[in-house]
Structure 1
Amino acid sequence: MGILEINDVTLRFGGVVALDKVSYEVKKGEIFSLIGPNGAGKTSMLNCISGLYKPSSGSVCFNGEEITHFKPHKRAALGIARAFQNIELFPHLSVLDNLMLGRHVRMKTGILSGGLYWGKAQKEEVLHRQKVEEVIDFLEIEHIRDTPVGRLAYGLQKRVEVGRALALEPEILLLDEPMAGMNSEEKEDMARYIIDIHEEMETTIILIEHDMGVVMDLSDHIAVLDFGKLIGYGTPYEIQNNQKVIDAYLGVENVG
């Protein structure tokens, strides 16, 4: 049994079928990539996993428990964290404050005790701050910890976006095009951080990425979507030699 099981997931928006009976599993501790042409349904799939979308039919199971009807915050509390393709940070808050927001589902004290910052609430704040400081050290962003996110270069903002998801201490980290818009040096840095997250934090990663070199180098298994349908599933070698996948990316020549 995988840590995540997708069973016949279908997602409809009116007459548009974004996902069509998609099934696969993600094994615990692997880097799993979702690829496909633009509009294939990749982000819609991540939205079904994180709870932003509810499938029209089918099921999503996490650690053997069906979570199809769980709200996003409950899935986050279970250990599913998300970094978005379009940066969803608070630009006027510091890096540190943005990362602290990633701890919100782990906080147990109530509004009153938290507002007074006394006793149990104070101790909890210290513990959460320690976890965030570990993420700051891990991602090598100590020098910008007090800088408002809106002042940062794009590549650093993407790193903070990943950091906020990491602050949740997830079992599964969903990364939606973490290297989009980056230069080659920034891509190399992000690839290194993804490997480190996987190996040092033993985090299962589901990755959407258009750079096929990165996908083939990092992934243990790959699922390929095209017009909402699963057309390929396997190891990087198997995907590279899958004719349906080749046709989807390169097109099929019409002869005659």
Structure 2
Amino acid sequence: MNKIMEIKNISLQFGGVKALNDVSFHINEGEIFSIIGPNGAGKTSMLNCISGLYKPSEGEIHYKGKNILPMKPHQRTKLGIARAFQNIALFGSMSVLDNLKLGRHTLMKSGFIKSGIYWGAAEKEEVQHRRKVEEVIDFLQLQDIRHTPVDKLPYGLQKRVEVGRALALDPELILLDEPMAGMNASEKEEMSRFILDMLELKNITVVLIEHDLEVVMGLSNHLVVLDFGKQIGFGTPKEVQQNPDVIKAYIGEELTI
């Protein structure tokens, strides 16, 4: 399989604290890849390095063979990398539709001045962006709540809209930070189905952080395991669950898949 991303010897330091320490792994194109570990292991810090919110102290991150560390977050977005956050970062008073439309903002080519002068081109671009948003609404089954303010929705649906805003960027690689946190069993099952469909129907490579090990082991093709910023495991779910360092530090006992 082709590697879509390579993490090479990434370290991240805040003062005297090393959040990540010489972490290296790769993500294959067309897979669900999970980053797991105890609280404080450095999972979200890793996503922040990939998306550009943090700049590592050492190492390189290659996306499709190109080192993206010098690039700003919006530049990485235009390359095809999108991010959904653990803490919902939506505009509560705005509708689901408007939040998803805002998700496309960084891809707009027609600025305010151009929109005023060349209305025809800007209008055509708006139609194209709206079409993409409608695809996301249909994909995540948000039709009935499209005009509902986000802060009026239950938590599970807000998480779905958060994922939808990342999908609206039409990514090739999507970073999902605990998309099932706080969900009940049926909501987790539904989100798992959406994640599988991202891969199977939209050909999006998925990078997932999730604490529910049963869900992770069932969805993932490969995983990396972090503990206090150090990498202690990398491989298939079966390889990871049999790794003695992972069992000792995190799992506690072997999982049955």
**TM-score, normalised by the number of residues in structure 1:** 0.96
1:7 maps to which residue?
8
1:227 maps to which residue?
228
Q: Match of 1:33, as an amino acid? A: S
Residues 1-256 of structure 1 aligned to structure 2 (within 5 Å)? 2-114=3-115, 118-249=119-250
Comparing 113-122 with 216-225, greater Cα deviation is found at: 113-122
Change (3 A) 1:184 1:251: closer
CA distance in 2, matches of 1:182, 1:203: 23
Q: For residues 96-122 of structure 1, give each alpha carbon's deviation from its aligned partner in whole angstroms, at most 9, with x where no partner exists.
A: 111011111221112123357821111
Structure 2 unaligned residues grouped into runs of 5+? none
Q: For residues 191-222 of structure 1, give each alpha carbon's deviation from its aligned partner in whole angstroms, at most 9, with x where no partner exists.
A: 01000111100000000000000000000000
CA distance in 1, matches of 2:36, 2:251: 14
CA distance in 2, matches of 1:54, 1:174: 17
Q: CA deviation at 1:134?
A: 0.6
CA distance in 1, matches of 2:84, 2:234: 23
Q: For residues 41-70 of structure 1, give each alpha carbon's deviation from its aligned partner in whole angstroms, at most 9, with x where no partner exists.
A: 000000000000000010111000000121
Q: CA deviation at 1:159?
A: 0.4
Equivalent position SS for 1:119: helix
CA distance in 2, matches of 1:35, 1:17: 18
Structure 1 unaligned residues grouped into runs of 5+? none
In the TM superposition, structure 1's runs of 4+ consecutive aligned residues that sit over 3 Å from their partners are none
CA distance in 2, matches of 1:209, 1:200: 22
Could you tell me the percent identity over the aligned residues? 65
Equivalent position SS for 2:119: coil
Change (3 A) 1:236 1:108: same
Change (3 A) 1:38 1:115: farther
CA distance in 2, matches of 1:116, 1:132: 25
Equivalent position SS for 1:210: coil
Q: Match of 1:161, as an amino acid? A: E
CA distance in 2, matches of 1:150, 1:120: 34
CA distance in 2, matches of 1:227, 1:68: 23
Q: For residues 73-96 of structure 1, give each alpha carbon's deviation from its aligned partner in whole angstroms, at most 9, with x where no partner exists.
A: 000110100000000001111111
CA distance in 1, matches of 2:209, 2:48: 12
Question: RMSD across aligned C-alpha pairs, in angstroms?
Answer: 1.3
Matched residue count: 252
Q: Match of 1:160, as an amino acid? A: V
**TM-score, normalised by the number of residues in structure 2:** 0.96
CA distance in 2, matches of 1:116, 1:155: 42
